[in-house]
Amino acid sequence: MSISRDAATNLISAACQYLDDEDWDAFLNICDPAFRYRITVRSPEIKREMIWFNQDYAGLRDMFSVIPEHLRRLGTLLRHVSIGHIEHQAPDMAQVTSTFQCIHTDLEGRSNLLAVGRYLDDVRATSGGLRLAARNTVLATRDLGVGSHVPI
């Protein structure tokens, strides 16, 4: 089963929309049960990659369930994604590289750029449709401020 560019684009767009809307169940529903979400950033000071976040499907589900209990940055997030390269790794697997901008709008309506980077998404074709098998959010931004409890 081949993965088309349109289908991969629709999956990545849906994932971003669900995260924007904080519709955690819908986001998890498009993820493979073996899904892993990582956020990484390269540090020029130590000349190494830092892992800021690393959760599997169950860990994400648990984290999503306690988000309302956390003090966090109030307002909304909006992700703007541009799908770039799609590399087919097998008939049922592809890696989709996208660039993104994540904009935070506070309760007074002021919008500021929160983060920029790349999504490296592993996409798997299943009998139930496309699923996210893994996401590595590779940040260019290294200062997110306080209260960033949701995946970028």
Average pLDDT, the chain: 92
Q: In this model, does residue 99 exceed pLDDT 70? A: yes
The pLDDT of residue 2: 77
Write down the pLDDT at residue 143.
81
Rounded average pLDDT over 103-131 = 95
pLDDT tier at 148, thresholds 50, 70, 90? low
Predicted pLDDT of residue 73? 77
- 138 vs 152: CA distance, rounded Å: 10
Predicted confidence (pLDDT) per residue in 29-68, tens digit? 999 999 999 999 999 999 899 999 999 999 999 999 988 7
Q: Given a cut of 80, is residue 126 above it in pLDDT?
A: yes
Which helix (H) or strand (E) covers residue 68, if one does? none
**Dihedral through CA 85, CA 11, CA 27, CA 141, nearest 10?**
20
Q: Which domains does the chain have, with CATH numbers?
A: 5-139 (3.10.450.50)
Helix (H) or strand (E) holding 13: helix 5-20
